[in-house]
Structure 1
Amino acid sequence: MPETPAGDGPTIGIVGLGRLGSALRAVCRDNGTRVALTATRRRGWAAEAVPDVLVDTSAPEAHPQVLDYCAAHRVPLVACVSNLTDTQWKALEELAGAVPVVRATNLSFAHHLQVRIAEFTAALTTGPFGATTTVRERHPLGKAHRPSATALALADTWAGASGRAVADIADERAGLPVSEHELTHTWDGESLHVRHHVGSWTVPARGALAAAQWARTAPPGLVTMRTVYDELTARNTA
């Protein structure tokens, strides 16, 4: 059922109470953020009120309901489901014409830094300093798809910043939650590894709440977590 702890922040709706959704609900409970709506496949949708922002942590099957709800109630969306079809991504873009939509492939702030480091490295590794670059990702057994959306996005980031495709994307299914993503740059006799490890679902849950707080006052449009973190860090350094 929805929960209503004390607090002055935005009210949140959570679709999907798996590992990420449950962690987000716990983070909301800890910091006093009101959860006004929850939705699961077994129990359906339960709402005390229309939330200020909806966070979708469910599965592609729930996507039509999520988009219909946000469109009908003009609710901003933080979309954390990464394995959508091309048609579903297109529908997300259409929704963004009416409400703010955050496409949250990876919610971690440290991953945001990893992406920025990749762009910085790309600008310096040109000409005789060019490197062979690879991506490696690891998730526990049971991860729904491979390579992960984050690994593919890292490869795209590197290609866009350097003009060179990565030489390989390696995916591994083993070990403990939650994930590892690593960029390796190799030269003759040396290599540089930029690895990001997440060991708790609380980490992406905090990122989802930060995205929800940002989306609450954002204009309509489709953005990624890069825009969210760029703007939040700019506010803190202004």
Structure 2
Amino acid sequence: MPETPAAGGRTIGIVGLGRLGSAVRAVCRADGTRVCLTASRRTGWLAEAVPDVLIDASAPEAHPDVLDYCAGHRVPLVACVSNLSDTQWKALAELAATVPVVRATNLSFGHYLQARIAEFTAAYATGRFDPVTTVRERHPLGKAHRPSATALALAGTWAAASGREVADIADERSGLPVSEHELTHTWDGESLHVRHHVGSWTVPARGALAAADWARAAAPGLVTMRTVYDDLTARNRT
């Protein structure tokens, strides 16, 4: 692999060329971002230069190589693989001592807003207005993990903000790409549904590039997409 940084402009490395990785590559092509490194099971690692940021959209099996590359070349990482083992999550946190690492359970801005709405609801729905809260998620057939990492994250957000666990997490495998996640609050005779639907892989791909832009200028440390979007939206308001 090359030791020389890429010259001029923003550069991205992509590990994993499945649905998300291919979408990131297409978005880079559309907006003129140079992809100077790709890696996949079929081609191996192909690198013209060291990228500014590496986006990992692969699988847990590639994790050791990804961490070794980022540590060896001091490259920030956007980690989009959600089904890592506890040991791998620990290794990711150790990498963050030397480079910026974004743990991207869900990359979309809509999910960020959905989580913020859950926190807002928790602040007001207390006492006599305490709801029964549930999470529903839908992915197409073939989605490996049930429930999804995003559904678990939504449930965790509600529990942290309200002090109450969700009553149920329902998972469904049907329909079209990419996903739906819904938080439902039920009172006596009424309910509130906060549903987020993603219909194109371009949506998380653009989120991955937003995270890469953020990580490119960040200090070492481990953050989530919540921190990235908090920072980016704060900049927009100033």
| Smaller-chain TM-score bracket | over 0.9
- The DSSP-based 3-state class of the residue aligned with 1:177 is coil
Pairwise CA RMSD = 0.9
Corresponding position: 1:93 with 2:93: yes
Corresponding position: 1:179 with 2:179: yes
Distance 2:144 2:28 in 1: 26
Paired letter, 2:55: V
Corresponding position: 1:32 with 2:32: yes
Q: Tell me the equivalent position of 2:144.
A: 144
Distance 2:106 2:137 in 1: 13
Per-residue CA distance 1:108-130 (angstroms, 9 max, x = gap): 00110000000000000000000
**Deviation larger for 8-17 or 65-74:** 8-17
Aligned residue runs from structure 1 range 1-12, under 5 A? 9-12=9-12
Per-residue CA distance 1:36-92 (angstroms, 9 max, x = gap): 100001110000000000000000000000000000000000000000000000000
Residue correspondences, number: 232
- The DSSP-based 3-state class of the residue aligned with 1:135 is strand
Paired letter, 2:220: P
Distance 1:9 1:31 in 2: 12
5+ residue gaps, structure 2: 1-6
- The DSSP-based 3-state class of the residue aligned with 2:142 is coil
With the length of structure 1 as denominator, give the TM-score of the two structures.
Answer: 0.96
Paired letter, 1:193: H
Distance 2:180 2:33 in 1: 29
Distance 1:85 1:173 in 2: 23
4+ runs deviating over 2 angstroms: none
Aligned residue runs from structure 1 range 107-126, under 5 A? 107-126=107-126
Aligned residue runs from structure 1 range 63-212, under 5 A? 63-212=63-212
Paired letter, 1:145: H
**Deviation larger for 121-130 or 7-16:** 7-16
Q: Contact between 1:8 and 1:33, CA under 8 Å: does it hold in 2?
A: no
Aligned residue runs from structure 1 range 41-60, under 5 A? 41-60=41-60
Distance 1:10 1:150 in 2: 29
Distance 2:144 2:100 in 1: 27
How big is the shift at 1:183? 0.1
Corresponding position: 1:61 with 2:61: yes
Q: Tell me the equivalent position of 2:213.
A: 213
Paired letter, 2:228: V
- The DSSP-based 3-state class of the residue aligned with 2:90 is helix
- The DSSP-based 3-state class of the residue aligned with 2:133 is strand
Distance 1:206 1:8 in 2: 21
Q: Tell me the equivalent position of 1:237.
A: 237
With the length of structure 2 as denominator, give the TM-score of the two structures.
Answer: 0.96
Paired letter, 2:29: R
Sequence identity percentage: 84
Paired letter, 2:107: L
Distance 2:58 2:21 in 1: 8
Distance 2:25 2:214 in 1: 18
Distance 1:148 1:215 in 2: 25
- The DSSP-based 3-state class of the residue aligned with 1:166 is coil
Distance 1:9 1:199 in 2: 30
How big is the shift at 1:9? 4.1
Distance 1:52 1:217 in 2: 10
How big is the shift at 1:8? 6.0
